[in-house]
Copies of this chain bind each other. A is one copy, B any other.
């Protein structure tokens, strides 16, 4: 039914555009433009006959993001190779090698933060906390601007090219980039489909934008790793309270398009022979693990949960520290470039392969690190059993100096903990998921190697790679308080045999890290940035959701009475730019009747100058009834949920029929601020 209606609208549009364009006298190349436009409109009619334009938008989003992802990977690989080439060619001269090792990433990150500081300060960080807030329904248009997109894109390439020294990832900014691209595609789709009616268009456009944003979250993950299903799960998890089931199909479509395109690009570039997972593993298929190993996986989950609590505590402390120390505040506001350069120089000095770096496999890129950790054969057995030939590729960096690999792994874990916390303060676009994923893999590998050392014998052969996989999923899941990393780990490696142990570890790690209402990694950033995201704020102010909104309603408010004349309307329109104004019976009775749209009033005001007769509000425009009303006793939680679910901009609060207030997202933010300043 919907589609037939859309089709009819499209046809109407075609003829309308054509005639208006030809009659427009001042445009250049009118004839050519008209022909091109006509062809495009015919094409859009044909496309629209198959399914709604927005479906093409979702598919296009997936394809565009996969292309961006592939292009970014390609550039980063080239930049990393250049660094490596330079470093290898300086072999023999330690001083020059040191400067090459440290200055290259330091300069890249300095350039990245220079972009951020001078072009768009909203591009720093991961972007996921902001995306979560926007998904609730709150408008943050500066986070979706075109400049921000380019800054984030270039900055992210710089950060990734700095390599495993800085140890930052790509997922978070990619989700943010995806929402920005989605916003533009959504605007494009509604431009193609737009109708003449004023009111439905605004609401329709908002709903389409919201849907596109949910889809973008899925595409961000899917396009980044070629992992469609965990992308969809991520977009379910990232929602504030409820996931609309109607977004489920679009998410799957866009994620599948994204993942498919990403994999096809890999095939076409000659890296792979066919569509393969990003980190394909070759675990033994016949007996992937013994049933009793389930207990070891469970203990790994608990361990990851405990370590994640420690990591999150350090991260929160660091966030607090940078906000209270005068020198940090000054550096992070005015001297971002210098700060980035200094911090990255410090990190790079520590990881220099001729100093401490040799004990923590610092020559590996993030991808090589993960591949080496997911290797299925036990490293300790190589050392014990000299008859088995060493695999130089996977082991060389982890025991380059002949030490036991356990020590390398422990040293890596210890050093990377503080280095990662420090790196999180860098004012550059950067993802924080991949580092914790790799960190978890190291934790899992250590657990697996120890288990292999302790329990192997009697014909049992352990696979520490499986533990690395479970550890990666469990630790990253615990840090972000999500379950989708479990599926992501499986999709990244194509290793389905380990699905149950990985899921179990992730569940237990989540249970430990969520206990006691601790904030997740993204919650901590949300709180630190004071974003109006209720689920995060709840962690700090547990009473906030139960507060009644009545006590925060302002005394004076803008309203129109039913019999309002031209002057009153003019006054109201001038004094406020809300999209909807409440209408009451009379200013004395305050009985709430409904609302009028600002756009309708503006149309009336622009047209009424020619008219002389004095008219009342109820003659000139439709008073829309409000289908849902709040009472002053509604709690913040209920109001927040209604605003985010109903997709309405404005909710009206009445008490016994009398209007007592208006709730919008702006009002909601004011309530949060009032509450937090009170307590």
Contacts and interface: CB of A to CB of B under 8 A. Distances in A.
Interface residues on A, range: 35 or more
Contacts of A585: 656
Interface string A487-516: 100110011110111011001001100111
Interface of A: 1-3, 51, 226, 228-229, 232-233, 236-237, 239-246, 248-249, 252-253, 256, 259-260, 263-264, 267, 273-277, 282, 285, 287-291, 294, 483, 486-487, 490-491, 494-497, 499-501, 503-504, 507, 510-511, 514-517, 542, 585, 591-593, 625-635, 638, 641-642, 645-646, 654, 656-658
Contacts of A237: 245, 248
B500 A253 contact: no
B1 A542 contact: yes
Nearest to A246: B241
B229 A236 contact: no
7 nearest A-B pairs in the assembled complex, by CB-CB distance: A657-B657, A625-B633, A627-B634, A242-B242, A629-B629, A496-B496, A494-B496
A500 B499 CA distance: 18
A291 B277 contact: no
A275 B287 CA distance: 9
Contact of A277 (B259, B275, B496, B517): B496
Contacts of A515: 3, 51
28 contacts: A1-B517, A2-B517, A51-B515, A228-B500, A236-B236, A236-B245, A237-B245, A239-B245, A241-B244, A243-B245, A249-B510, A256-B500, A256-B503, A260-B504, A264-B291, A274-B288, A275-B289, A275-B291, A275-B294, A275-B501, A494-B496, A494-B499, A625-B632, A625-B633, A626-B631, A629-B631, A629-B654, A638-B646
A282 B242 CA distance: 40
B657 A252 contact: no
By CB atoms of chain B within 10 A, which of A511, A634, A656 has the most? A656
Contacts of A240: 245
Contacts of A656: 585, 591-593, 657
A51, A503, A642 interface centre (most CB from chain B within 10 Å) = A503
A154 to B, nearest CB: 30
A123 to B, nearest CB: 28
Nearest to A535: B245
A274 B260 contact: no
A28 B625 CA distance: 64
Contact of A628 (B483, B496, B593, B634): B634
Given A245-B237, A483-B249, A628 B642 contact: yes
B275 A645 contact: no
B496 A490 contact: yes
A327 B267 CA distance: 61
List the number of copies, as a whole number.
2
A274 B246 contact: no
Contacts of A500: 226, 228, 256, 259-260, 263, 275
Nearest to A584: B656
A419 B510 CA distance: 48
A245 B484 CA distance: 13
Given A628-B629, A645-B645, 10 more contacts: A236-B245, A237-B248, A241-B245, A242-B645, A260-B294, A264-B291, A282-B285, A592-B657, A629-B654, A657-B657
A290 B275 CA distance: 8
Contacts of A267: 291
Contact of A631 (B246, B259, B285, B625): B625
A627 B241 CA distance: 19
Contacts of A285: 282, 285
Contacts of A259: 500, 503
Contact of A496 (B289, B495, B632): B495
A504 B62 CA distance: 13
A259 B486 CA distance: 15
A274 B287 contact: yes
Contacts of A245: 236-237, 239-243
Contact of A504 (B256, B483, B516, B630): B256
A653 to B, nearest CB: 10
A658 B630 CA distance: 15
A103 to B, nearest CB: 42
A245 B592 CA distance: 35
A507 B263 CA distance: 17
Of A243, A499, A634, most B-chain CB atoms within 10 Å: A499
A495 to B, nearest CB: 7
A274 B291 contact: yes
A221 to B, nearest CB: 15
B628 A256 contact: no
A514 B486 CA distance: 31
Contacts of A499: 228-229, 491, 494
A325 to B, nearest CB: 31
A501 B501 CA distance: 26
Nearest to A549: B627
Contacts of A511: 51
Contacts of A226: 500
A496 B491 contact: yes
Contacts of A593: 656
